[in-house]
Each structure stands twice: as C-alpha cells, then as structure tokens.
Structure 1
C-alpha cells in the first residue's frame, strides 16, 4: 500500500438522530487527533452507504482502505459482513473491533460514577448490557469487558444481552437481585443511543448509564485499531517479499 489508506469507520447504523450524530463526530474526533488522516463512514445495517459499496468504490478508485468496525465485540457483522466486504479487494483490510479494551472499561466506569454508582459498595451489582450476538466470539469479548470492569468494582459485574445471547438484561438484573444485591445498575455497553438503549429503561434496574460516546478515548482506540491493521499488512507484505 503506497498511499495512506482511508480509514473506513464502519458502524452498525441507527435511525436515532443523536446516535447518527455521535458516530459522525467520532470520525471527526479521530481526524482531530490525527490531522491529515482521511476518513469515511460505512454501515452494516439500517442506513447507507453499505460497507460493501464504500470498499468497492475505494477499490475502483485505486484507493487502499482500512475498515475499522465501530463495534464493541466481534460477531457476525465483523466476521461475515466486514470480512466479506474487504475480502474481494487486495487493497482493503479489516481491523479488529473497538472492544474489548481497557479504555472502554474506563469509560464505562466513568459513566457509572456519573450515574451516582459507588465502586466501593459490595451491595451494588453492575449488569454490563450489550446488544448481543449468536457468535460465541462476541459473547467472549463482552465477558472480557466485564472482567476488565470488575477490577474497579467491589460488587459483582455480570453480563446481559438485548438479543441473540443469554441472559437477557431483565433476567440478569433479576438474577443480581436474587444473589443479594441491594442496588442494580445497568452499564450500557453501547456507543450511542438508539433502539437498544431505549429498551434498557424497562429492564428493572435502579439506574441505567449513558452510552459511551462522546469520549476522546474512543477516538484513540479507533486510531489504534487502524494503526495495528496497517502494521500487520505491512509486515505481511514485507514477509511476502
């Protein structure tokens, strides 16, 4: 790859206007942290342009690309949709998703504190609420994030899902209460507001945190994923020669 590849920030897609704005601002924040980098947006669902069309367009123009999934775990969208989009074009590569990462756990901790949650209270349970995937790799990634979060919390940290994986968030909240928690707070493991965040309000918890965005640390993670994918591509090219 000779030219500096375009960073294709590939999000899930949402109909929520605030969610759309925050995802757009994440790419702008990455450009502010790395002046001169070129970014463009793509989506795997709900809204255009699709990642397939964006990667195809860049390939047709002879422009190399690194697709960074703006996703918090590696499920179907990462391993099938995005992998398929880049697989057809030698000049395109996919980075790994944003999570798990200690910086995301740090943002979650800040959101929990903002919601009035005491990290030192052993009777406060945290349910890490993720969108959910039937892919076991995604579930493992979410559990890794829960393990990172647990380091900062005296009370138990468990996981709950919006769809496709078990337990559901309401079931995880109920289980935490049955296990003896006096207070249960849902930590929304979501980048931005949307359909799933709206549903969390009805999960029966004592509080629900705001999503992760906006936060400068997420733009830093995004750039690290881009750099790592680029480095592995270059080392692979050097080995081939």
Structure 2
C-alpha cells in the first residue's frame, strides 16, 4: 500500500428514512478519521440517503482518485454483502476503468464486536459481576440467509462461554425467535435477570422493534445499539487494512475463498 496516498476508505451503509441512521454512520466515520489522520474516509448509502454509492464513486473518479476500498457496514455476510454491493461496485468499475475498487469483508464475527456489545450492556447498568446471574438476548435485525442466521447463533454460543448465565439469539425480522419470545424463554428457565443486546449498528425501524420486544418481554436491561463504539471503529480499520494488504484476486469483487 502506498502510505503517502492510501486507498480511500468508502464506508457503505444501507441507508434509512430514520435520520438517526445517517447520523450514526457519520459519527462512526468521524471516529475513523480521528483514529487514522490522513486517511480519507467517505460514506455512501445504498438507499434513502445521499450520497448514493454510485454518486460518490463518480465524484471520486472525477477527482482522479485511483484506489478505493469499499467497506460494507454490515455485521453478517447476507444479501447486501453477497449480491447488491458487489453489483453496484462492478457497475462503477465498468464506468470508471481507471478507478480500482476493492470490497473488504463484512465486520462480523469478531471478538471486537463482542467487546462492544458488553460495553453497551455495562453502559445500560450491568457490571461484570452481574454476568453469572444475567441471561442475554443477542438480538439481530434478522435475515433470510441461512449463513447469516448460523453466524448469529454461533456468536451467541461463543459469548456464553465468557461467563454469562445464558446467551440466546433473537431476530427482529425474517427469522425466529423474536426478541420478546427469547426474553420469556430465559425467564421460564429461571434466569433472574434478562438483558437485551441489540446486534445492530445504527438506530432505525428494526432496532426499534428489538427495543419494543425487550419491553414486551419484560427484560430488565436494554443496551444501546453498537453505534460509533470505539471497538467498531477499530474493526472497520482492521478490515480496511486486511483488504489493502491482501494479494490481488483475479476478480477483485469476487467472494473470498
């Protein structure tokens, strides 16, 4: 990597009609800039918000930028990471043959995300001493992709080994159980305190559904979304560095082996 002119880091977010979504994405981008002065960080959206990813890549090409690493702001390898983001990037590459665009890996799973989840639980009032008596519902947005669902279940299993009384996955859409049902199931098993940890990055419709499920199920603790957690910013930079250092593949935007 040319350290004098490192690739532009393009954070690709889904976008939302909820203004809190874009505000969170921009806050995270600001944290990246403070962690890595000199690195150009841009944010583009797939829907609802401006600039769109194609608009942003067009602008970068007009500025004679030659190297971009596109980093999906996604926690699992579901539809967006496998299909529509690569398609958008391929179309931009066809329009701008001098612009090198490489797609980085999604954020999860990662131990840094688990640390960020615990940070949010402690900010919501728990302490490390509460772990043995607290069951956690790991509540994700949900996906129809079996791979993404399996990853959430595996994260819950791994997180349980760090001392929590129990950790159960739940989903706001597309999959079951719902947050409220997972909370009730832990309560039925005799867990004294139940906390809900949203495994989502930014506020919006599905995170609000998770919060409503936590209230409906009677959870004692509801953590905030991951947001601009320092661990999330460090993980974004790690994925950027990994992609920048990776040997070039024949098809830059193909799925890694």
- With normalisation by structure 1, the TM-score equals 0.87
d(CA) in 2 for partners of 1:32 and 1:62? 22
How many equivalent pairs are there? 236
Asked if the contact 1:169/1:200 (under 8 Å) is kept, the reply is yes
Shift of 1:128: 0.4
Q: State the Cα RMSD in Å.
A: 2.3
Determine if contact 2:75/2:107 at 8 Å carries over to the other structure. Answer: yes
CA contact under 8 A between 2:44 and 2:51: conserved in structure 1? yes
Distance 1:4 1:201 in 2: 40
Shift of 1:163: 0.8
1:74-85 to structure 2, matched below 5 A, reads 74-85=77-88
Residue in 2 that maps onto 1:230: 244
Aligned position for 2:208: 198
Cα deviation code 1:119-173 (max 9, x no counterpart): 5454421000111111122223323432342233331101111111222212222
Alignment of 1:56-205 (within 5 A): 56-59=58-61, 61=64, 63-88=66-91, 89=93, 91-119=100-128, 120-203=130-213, 204=217, 205=219
Bigger shift: residues 196-205 or 73-82 = 196-205
Question: SS of the residue aligned with 1:66?
Answer: strand
CA contact (8 A) 2:198 2:223 kept: yes
In the aligned structure 2, how far is the partner of 1:116 from the partner of 1:131? 23
Which piece of structure 1 moves more, 183-192 or 118-127?
118-127
Paired residue secondary structure (2:212): coil
CA distance in 1, matches of 2:185, 2:80: 30
Query: Which structure 1 residue ranges, 5 or more long, are not aligned?
Result: none
CA distance in 2, matches of 1:153, 1:128: 15
Q: CA deviation at 1:118?
A: 4.9
Contact 1:44 1:77 in 2 (8 A): no
- The whole-number CA distance in structure 1 between the counterparts of 2:248 and 2:131 is 47
